Amino acid sequence: MDSAFVPRRFEVDGGISLSALEWTRAGADRSPLLLVHGLASNCRLWDGAARLLADRGHPVVALDLRGHGLSDAPDDGYGVARVADDVVEVIDLLAHGDARWARPVVMGQSWGGNIVVEAAARHGARLAGVVAVDGGTIDLPASFPSWEECERTLRPPALAGTPAARLRAWMESAHPDWSREAIDGQMHNMEVLDDGTVRPRLTLDRHLQCLRGMWEAPPSRSWGTIGTPVMFVLAAREEDAHTRAKRTQVERAARELAHCRTEWFVPADHDLHAQHPDRFADCVSTAFDEGFFR
């Protein structure tokens, strides 16, 4: 394992401090990559993929978005546009210290996929490309005509007070093909209290603000305005109705985007980057090798 990470912090939006991990390897000479996690997740879900991509010569930074992981948790600012601007402000700060970061490729999973697509719509000239990992096409209003229905259906489970050991055992049972590194990353979504129980790092109120932001800003409204190359890396467990609907949505995105590439992992979990980090890193490397990210 040649690469290792160092903690970083970045101040955005007038004083909000975001936590990140920078993966470094001597002689890195490929395009920089900024990695963005999904809703109620954290940057450690990227550990495997970040390490492998850094070993392939990419400078890599994995970011905890506001309210998540070890970042500050302000009371507001969880709309898609504001969070996308946070991401671009981090890019500006990285570029100030290292000119290679002037136009990185930005990757986001799930909600993070929607965020990086929004970043491309708002700040496309600043990005060399976008990778949306089982995200970037999530259109909540298409499934939930009212916010009340969306909130009721997607409200997160109440995990506070669950013993950490029990939660980890459940994760291992639910994801038998995940590595210990990936399970560790999932556990970082929780704060472990002195009594051995957990508390989600993302509070319920902030979780619902993020969800409301997704519902109010479906990425489909912006695809036709994006000139930045966008690669979708998508997961499906089987060819069910949900997967067919996802395929239809991705096909629409591919028609509307100026430069689009699509890769499917089947069967795979929603967190495919954590489940299959080697395959994911290979997929990204192939896109670079074939000149997709110009």
Tell me: pLDDT of 5 over 90.
yes
Q: Which residues of 225-256 are buried (b: 16+ CB within 10 A; e: fewer)?
A: ebebbbbbbbbbeeeeeebeebbebbeebbee
Determine how many CB atoms are found less than 10 A away from the CB of residue 66.
24
Residue 106: name the closest of 96, 97, 122 by CA.
122
Distance CA(41)–CA(151), nearest Å, equals: 18
Confidence of residue 28 (pLDDT cuts 50, 70, 90): confident
Token pair listed for 105: 């490729």
pLDDT tens, position by position, 96-122: 989 999 999 999 999 999 999 999 999
What domains, with CATH codes, occur in the chain? 4-144+204-289 (3.40.50.1820)
Report strand pairing: 105-109 vs 33-36. parallel
pLDDT tens, position by position, 227-251: 999 999 999 999 899 999 999 999 9
Tell me: pLDDT of 272 over 90.
yes
Contact 96, 123 (CB under 8 A): no
Predicted TM-score (pTM) above 0.75: yes
Torsion of CA 262, 252, 243, 37, to 10 degrees: 60
Distance CA(277)–CA(104), nearest Å, equals: 20
Amino acid at 93: L
Beta strand extents in 65-178 (DSSP E only) = 105-109, 129-133
Tell me: pLDDT of 146 over 50.
yes
Tell me: pLDDT of 41 over 70.
yes
What's the residue count for the chain?
294
* Residue whose tokens read 């929780």: 190
Q: What is the pLDDT of residue 45?
A: 98
Average pLDDT over all residues of the chain? 96
Tell me: pLDDT of 1 over 80.
no
C-alpha 5, offset from chain centre: 18
Determine how many CB atoms are found less than 10 A away from the CB of residue 67.
25
Q: What is the pLDDT of residue 25?
A: 84
Distance CA(259)–CA(230), nearest Å, equals: 6
Contacts of 87 (CB under 8 A, 6+ apart): 34, 36, 63, 65, 106, 115, 116, 119
Determine how many CB atoms are found less than 10 A away from the CB of residue 265.
20
H or E element at residue 262? strand 260-265
Beta strand extents in 129-220 (DSSP E only) = 129-133, 190-192, 198-200
Q: What is the pLDDT of residue 2?
A: 60
Token pair listed for 191: 């704060």
